[in-house]
Amino acid sequence: MAQAERAAELARLLDAAQAKLAAAEQSTEEAKALAEQLSEAEQRLEAEQAAADKLRRELAEQRFQAEVANWKLSSIKVARWNRLGDAIKSGKSNPVRLAKGLRGAAKPVKRPTAPKRKPVAGAGKAKDERPGAAFQATSTTRTLNGASFKLKPFRVPTGPNTRPHLTAAVIADPHAEALLRYEWRQTTGFTPRDFARVLPLEMPHLLVVESVTQGPWAEEITGEPGDGLRALLAWCAERGIRTVFWHTGGDVAAYAAAAELFEHRFTTDLTVAWPRLQFGVQPRVHNPLPLAGGRIDRVLTLDQLLPGHLAYPDVLTSYRWPAAADCPPGTPQWRLAEIAACGTPIGDEPDARRAHVALRRAYQMGTMTERIDELLDAIGLPSARATLNTSVLLPVLDPYLMEHALAQVAKQSGVDQLIVIGPPEAELRVRDVLPDVDVIYRRPQPSMTEGAMLNSGIDLCEADLVAVMDPRDVYGAHYLSDLRRAFLFSTADIVGKAAYYAHLRKPQATLLKQPDAEYSYLPEIAGASLLARRNTLRELRFADLTDGWDEVLMRQCRTDGIKVFSADRFGYVRVRDEDRWLLGAAHLVEYGSAEPHALI
């Protein structure tokens, strides 16, 4: 009986324990379900917050664009040419009113201040998503032979984008990311775990994956492709997003399996049978803009120039630091091109002429903008972007200078249109000398000044850039192509030369004007070296003067806040019989021709 009672008690206890276990299991399942619901709710909340932030940003951008449109309209209303038109229209039947209106229109009027983007309300501290905003140099100290040097770091530019209409999701190491980020709107930083949440915030047109060696995607693309990579590519396929694999280093066999999953494959390796996509210089960061503190007066080896601990933004600072870089045999071609594009002489001694030729060749080898054009053409996406097409304004006051002037234009590359204002014989002659250029000829009135001739020609220009050339001066074959390059890395609307060579015929003297004025924003440049955005010149116009129209134009630029950039000293020679002002303001180079110094 006692045993039976104990057995019954044990059974009761066992049933109670099993009931508690079942309840615990049910509680666990409920807790798990609640956790999943909480996770889903957090994801939905995060997505809704991101969507709300995006809407706030879009609304703020629309408001900003409306402010910009109003500002442009106000700027047009106060522009001198518009006020002159209003004065002529309102006073055409009243000479007194016309004279009064013209006097008022001739007075400079301060332009309205351009609107600035404001922080988005309610979104917290806005993240600066401009390209380069999060990639500023930080390591400002360098050590050479035990001595410490503090550098003012190169400021990585935050734009603009070459193709703002195109969005790319990019998985790349810091070097490639720095080359690509200015070519389109770029999304980075997503991982195998969160790409499905991050990428829809700004739906990409293409996915570019480099053969990365670090980060969360490195294991996904080496050896057997990971589940995260397969999921990412499937996600892209469902949405029609083109996928590109770019092999830039390492054994291609390690990436072959992953690369086969992509629609398109490119490589920098000449031994790999894939289409080529080589590195190119990125004008936004590989350019001759100097460091604030200037260069050190030393020639550095590559090891001294680039110690292994530098992040890529700090590498861009180092490129601009030495007087010259002594690079050993076997240095990668892309590295040499980047150093040369930063204006640093390559060799065991500084040489400005050799450095300028090397810079020119680095750009001629191809920029990343041109490389991306090739990529987009290959995968079937539009590569539309702004151009540097050029119209040339050539006023010829002296018929005896016509042949010389046309010969200077004929040397240039990239001239789409030539506007000639000059003697009657120029009309037929120019078509013989420049048969492949769109030529427009205009005969000037006898009393027209050079400024008036330029004004009559500016409205005929159709290209994005307009150059003014002086029939008296000498221009090298690379003159225009060198000047156009400055628009790739500067934010100026007018580019020209404040540093240049000059030749005075009577004393047979060659002079160098302002050698320290290269690659800098300055109050003025020589009018005969002017290359400007067409719309800027149309708004400014030219003063009705033969001598000094460029000085008036530069004063107007300072008044209106228009940026003027001085490029290199080469490719142009100012030629005059004599010029006392220039003789007193420039350095004497030698008695003899200036062309061997200037034309390289």
Q: How confident is the model at residue 119 (pLDDT cuts 50, 70, 90)?
A: low
pLDDT above 80 (res 300): yes
The predicted structure's pLDDT at residue 583? 67
Please state the pTM of the whole predicted model. Answer: 0.77
The reply to whether 160 and 97 lie within a common domain is no
Q: Does the residue 170 lie in any domain?
A: yes
Provide the angle, in degrees to the nearest 10, between the axes of the packed helices 95-106 and 80-90: 170
Q: Residue 591 domain-assigned?
A: yes
Residue 539 lies in a domain: yes
| 298, two tokens | 């030393």
Q: Is the same domain home to 507 and 404?
A: yes
Same domain, residue pair 467 and 566: yes
Confidence class for position 124, pLDDT limits 50, 70, 90: very low
Q: Amino acid identity, residue 193?
A: R
127 within some domain: no
Residue 281, in any domain of the structure: no
Residues 428 and 529 in one domain: yes
Q: Are residues 553 and 441 in the same domain?
A: yes
Range of the domain at 431: 390-598
Question: What are the backbone angles phi and psi of residue 396, rounded to the nearest 5°?
Answer: -115, 100
Q: Which of 5-9, 423-427, 448-452 has the lowest mean pLDDT?
A: 5-9
> What CATH number corresponds to the domain at position 228?
3.40.50.2300
Check whether residue 156 and residue 98 sit in a common domain. no
Chain segment 466-498, per-residue pLDDT in tens: 999 999 999 999 999 999 999 999 999 999 999
Judged on CB neighbours under 10 Å (0-12, 13-18, 19+), 593 is middle
CA 489, 530, 525, 585 dihedral sign is positive
Pair (422, 529) in one structural domain: yes
Whether residue 100 is found in the same domain as residue 215? no
My answer on whether 438 and 580 are in the same domain is yes
On whether residue 364 sits in a domain, the answer given is no
Q: Work out the angle at residue 502's Cα, subtended by the Cα atoms of residues 496 and 507, and round it to the nearest 5 degrees.
A: 165
In this predicted model, what pLDDT tens digit does every residue of 370-429 receive, in sequence order? Answer: 999 999 999 999 988 888 999 999 999 899 999 999 999 999 999 999 999 999 888 889
Q: Is the CA virtual torsion 539, 545, 550, 555 positive or negative? A: negative
Q: Identify the H or E element spanning 484.
A: helix 479-489
Residue 86 within any structural domain of the chain? yes
Q: Taking a C-beta distance cutoff of 8 angstroms, is the pair 568, 482 a contact?
A: yes
Is the domain of 101 the same as that of 156?
A: no
Last residue of a domain, one of 219, 251, 267: 267
Query: The domain that contains 438 carries what CATH number?
Result: 3.90.550.10
DSSP code of residue 367: B
| One domain for residues 102 and 170 | no
Question: By C-alpha distance, which of 208, 261, 256, 214 is closest to 234?
Answer: 261
Of 282, 599, 594, 569, nearest to 412 (Cα)?
599
Residue 442 parent element (H or E): strand 438-442
Q: Is the pLDDT of residue 293 over 90?
A: no
What pLDDT was estimated at residue 125?
46
pLDDT tens, position by position, 522-566: 999 999 999 999 999 999 999 999 989 999 999 999 999 999 999
Rounded-to-integer distance, Cα 319 and Cα 328, Å: 16
Above 80 in pLDDT, residue 37? no
Give Cα 246 to chain centroid, integer Å. 23
Split into its structural domains, the chain has a count of: 3
Cα 280 from chain centroid? 13
